């Protein structure tokens, strides 16, 4: 059995009471949190398509956290699937469903990124409704990743995008007045200011939620969140 087939078998066994939980190898012992998230969303898609026999659009309307609890998925979703804080409570199930089916629609993702690449190179304008709630959040994250890859090669931004730690500092905008370019400049150049404002309280949240779990640094993220909240300048060299 491949990994997913075995995971679905374990889930079926858990639903009928033959096992208490899913194997740790898929979650607490997974090679990365990205994998644990992937498995949680695959189980959600399996529940929707194979057990409840719903299509994606119907599921977004009728699925609830209570149903996820009854089918023993609420714990995995809440633990491993991050949801932007600005997505309204009533739209979070829709976000989860969109995320669960997003892997199945990768061909659309490739086309979307191709379109976005043309936008940032000024070959086409930004399509209307490009960043809708739910799937729009996923699109915005993918576009931010592409924009960072593209702009890190330019003279305007290359010195700010050297490492992930540099990205956190740049997106915190703590030193904005002292820099040749700011995060607001970048978001404007990348055509991502609107989705950033739509889904997040601050650009650093946009960055953190868009990085892969292997790239995320919770300590540095929370450090800059603290500095943003208290608006304390960071002294060069890290001195007091």
Say if residue 125 is in the same domain as residue 219.
yes
Say if residue 167 is in the same domain as residue 113.
yes
Residue 195 lies in a domain: yes
Smallest Cα–Cα separation from 176: which of 124, 233, 219?
233
Dist. CA 168–CA 171, nearest whole Å = 5
Say if residue 59 is in the same domain as residue 139.
no
The answer to whether the Cα torsion of 85, 70, 75, 58 is positive or negative is negative
* The pLDDT of residue 107: 41
Where is the domain boundary, 38, 66, 81? 81
Dist. CA 191–CA 150, nearest whole Å = 13
Q: Are 210 and 82 in contact (CB under 8 A)?
A: no
pTM of structure? 0.61
* The pLDDT of residue 235: 44
* The pLDDT of residue 189: 93
Say if residue 134 is in the same domain as residue 18.
no
3 state SS for 212-225: CCCCCCHHHHHHHH
Say if residue 58 is in the same domain as residue 127.
no
Q: Which domain holds residue 120?
A: 105-231
Say if residue 74 is in the same domain as residue 112.
no
Say if residue 133 is in the same domain as residue 215.
yes
Residue 91 lies in a domain: no
pLDDT of the chain, 240 residues: tens digit per residue: 467 888 999 999 999 999 999 998 888 765 667 788 889 999 999 999 999 999 888 998 899 999 999 999 999 999 988 887 777 788 889 889 888 887 554 445 677 788 899 999 888 888 877 887 556 777 888 899 999 999 988 888 888 898 999 999 999 987 666 677 889 999 999 999 999 998 888 999 999 988 887 788 989 999 999 988 877 544 444 444
Task: Provide the 3-class DSSP secondary structure of residue 211.
Answer: coil
Dist. CA 103–CA 98, nearest whole Å = 9
Dist. CA 91–CA 88, nearest whole Å = 5
Domain count, the chain: 2
The token pair at 137 is: 């959040």
Say if residue 138 is in the same domain as residue 29.
no
Residue 111 lies in a domain: yes
How crowded is residue 213: how many other Cβ atoms within 10 Å of its Cβ? 14
* The pLDDT of residue 233: 46
Say if residue 66 is in the same domain as residue 146.
no
Dist. CA 95–CA 102, nearest whole Å = 10
Q: How deeply is 106 buried, as exposed, middle or buried, from its count of CB atoms within 10 A (0-12, 13-18, 19+)?
A: exposed
* The pLDDT of residue 234: 44
Say if residue 222 is in the same domain as residue 113.
yes
* The pLDDT of residue 175: 65
Say if residue 72 is in the same domain as residue 142.
no
């Amino acid at each position: 059995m491949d990994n997913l087939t075995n995971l679905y078998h374990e889930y079926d066994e858990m639903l009928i009471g033959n096992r208490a939980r899913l194997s740790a190898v898929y979650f607490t012992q997974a090679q990365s949190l990205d994998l644990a998230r992937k498995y949680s969303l695959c189980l959600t898609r399996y529940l929707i398509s194979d057990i409840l026999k719903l299509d994606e659009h119907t599921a977004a309307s009728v699925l609830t956290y209570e149903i996820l609890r009854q089918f023993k998925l609420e714990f995995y979703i809440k633990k491993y699937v991050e949801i932007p804080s600005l997505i309204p409570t009533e739209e979070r199930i829709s976000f989860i469903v969109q995320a669960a089916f997003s892997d199945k629609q990768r061909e659309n993702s490739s086309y979307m990124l191709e379109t976005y690449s043309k936008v940032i190179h000024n070959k086409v304008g930004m399509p209307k409704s490009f960043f809708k709630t739910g799937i729009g959040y996923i699109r915005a994250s993918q576009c931010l990743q592409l924009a960072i890859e593209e702009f890190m090669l330019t003279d305007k931004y290359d010195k700010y995008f050297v490492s992930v730690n540099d990205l956190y500092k740049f997106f915190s905008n703590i030193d904005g007045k002292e820099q040749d370019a700011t995060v607001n400049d970048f978001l404007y150049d990348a055509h991502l200011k609107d989705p950033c404002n739509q889904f997040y309280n601050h650009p650093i949240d946009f960055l953190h939620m868009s990085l892969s779990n292997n790239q995320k640094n919770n300590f540095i993220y929370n450090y800059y969140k603290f500095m943003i909240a208290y608006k304390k300048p960071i002294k060069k060299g890290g001195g007091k």
